[in-house]
Chains A and B, each alone.
Chain A
Amino acid sequence: MNTLRERLPELLHGTGFRDASDPVRLGGGSSQENWAFDAIAETDGNRRALLLRRAPAGGVVDTERDVEFGLLRSLAGSGLPIAAVHALDADGSLMGRPAMIVDRVAGRADRAALRDRDPLQLGRDGRMSLAQELADLLGAVHRVDPPATGLVDVLRVPTDPGHAELERWTAELDRVELEPHPALRETIAWLGDHVPPPSPIRLVHGDFRPANVLVDGQRISALLDWELAHLGDAHDDLGWYTCSVYRAEHFIDGRWGVEDFLRRWSQASGIEVDHDRLHFWQVMTALRLAVIALTGVRAFCEGITDRPAGPADRIERLALRETGLLEDSDDHTRERPGGQR
C-alpha cells in the first residue's frame, strides 16, 4: 500500500488532479484490485472520488490494461453510463502491476439485485424497473457504432467471432488445466460443430450482469468491469446473460423471464434474436465460466492468489449440460435454450 501511496502522485501527474488521499482497498472485484481514494481537481478545487484499478497477482482474467483504457476513452461520448478514465500505467512500471485511474461513481452493485431478498432495497417495482433497464442498457451497448467511436482502432476486429472465441478459450483451458477435463473437451467439440456464421460486428461487454452495474437510487449509474469487452457477436452478451448458470440471479421468478428480457433487448438494440446462435453463446458462456473457475483453482493451488477456490466440477457439468448432449432424462431441471422448460 505504501508503494501505491507514494507513486499515486506520479501517475496522477498531468491529469488535473493533486493531493491524493491514502488508497483503501475495496472488497469487490473478482479480476481486479480496486483501491478507493480522493484527489483535488485542479479545475475547480473540489475533492473528487477516484478509483485505482490494478491487475492482481494471479488474476482470473488476463486483460491488457491499455486496451481497456482505450476502450473506455473511446466510449466517453457514447452516452453509455461508464466511469471516466484519467490515467494509465499500462506496463505496471509505476504501480507494480498494470493499473488505471477512473472516476469512482456513486452507487452500489450486488449480484443479487433482482432477487427477492432485495439487497439494494429497490422494492418490488424497483427491481422490475432495474430488470428492464438492464435489457435497455445492453441494447444500447449493442447500438454503439464501432467504426464511428474509434473502437475498431482499439479492439481487434474478428472476422469470425465464434471461432475466435472458441480458439481463445480452448487455449486458455490448455494453459490452466491441472488434470484432464473430459466434460469441457466434449463441450468444446460441441461448440466446434455449432459455430454460427459471422454476424455484423458489435461491441460486446463480455461480463454483462447485475453484479456489474452500479445502482444509485433506482437507476443504473455505471456499467462496470469492461475487462472482457471485445468486438464480436451481440448474441455473445445475450448468451452470457441468459446462460443457465446465472438464471436465478438475472430474472425475477414469475415476473421477468428469459423471453421478456430477449424481447426488450431486441426492441432496444434493433436486432432479432436468433435462438440457435443464442444457444451457441450460452454454451460458450458456460465453458468460459468453467475455464475462469479453473484459472482460479490453478492460481490457488500455486499459492499466487489470496482468493480461495474449491473444485470446479459443478460448473464443468453445467457446461456439458448446456449443450443439450445429456438427455432430458439425465436432468429434469434444465431449461431449454431461449427459456422454454
Chain B
Amino acid sequence: MRPRPSEIIAGVRTVLGDTIAPAVEGDHARARLHEVRAVLAQIDWDNAGFQLAERADRLGDALRDAQSWLAGELPPQPATGEYAALEEYFERLAAVAVATLSRLRTARRLEPDDDAAAASHRALLRAL
C-alpha cells in the first residue's frame, strides 16, 4: 500500500526540514524540531510491528527452552494481530524473563558447573 509508512515519514521529515525549519525562530524551537526529525528517522516504520513479533517469538522460544527455571506461566499468544495485543504479550513475556533470569542466576551461583543452566542463561540473554 502506497505511500508506505516509511515514505510518509520521510516526506514529513523533508517538509519539516525544507519548509518548516527555515521559518522557525529561536534556538529552542529549532533544537526541538531537529530532535523531532531525528526521532522520526530512528524507527523502522514499515517493520515496527514485525520486529516486535520477531522479538516476542525469540524471547518466547528462549523462555520455553529454559523450562526448568521458568518463573511463572508463559502468556498465551495474542488472539488478534493488533499492535497493542502484541505489545501486551511481549511485556508479559518480559516480566517472566525478569523472574526467570533471577532464578538462573541463583542456579548458577549454587552450581557453577551446571552447563545446562549456563546455556539457558546465555540463550535468554541473547534473546533480549
Contacts and interface: CB of A to CB of B under 8 A. Distances in A.
Interface of A: 24-28, 179-183, 185-186, 189, 306-311, 316-317, 320, 325-327, 330
A25 B26 contact: yes
Contacts of A308: 32, 35-36, 39
A264 B53 CA distance: 48
A230 to B, nearest CB: 28
B122 interface: yes
Given A24-B26, A309-B39, A326-B126, A186 B94 contact: no
A310 B128 contact: no
**Chain B interface mostly helix, strand, loop or mixed?**
helix
B97 interface: yes
Interface of B: 26-28, 30-32, 35-36, 39, 42-43, 91, 94-95, 97-98, 101-102, 105, 122, 125-126, 128
Given A24-B26, A25-B26, A186-B101, A307 B32 contact: yes
B28 A26 contact: yes
B27 A25 contact: yes
B18 to A, nearest CB: 19
24 contacts: A25-B27, A27-B28, A28-B27, A179-B91, A179-B94, A180-B98, A182-B94, A182-B98, A183-B125, A185-B102, A186-B125, A186-B128, A189-B105, A308-B32, A308-B35, A308-B36, A308-B39, A309-B39, A310-B42, A310-B43, A311-B43, A320-B125, A326-B126, A330-B126
Contacts of B94: 179-182
Contacts of B98: 180-182, 185
Nearest to A326: B125
Given A27-B27, A27-B31, A189 B102 contact: yes
A311 B87 CA distance: 13
Contacts of A26: 27-28
A327 B122 contact: yes
Contacts of B31: 27-28
Contact of A25 (B28, B36, B97, B101): B28
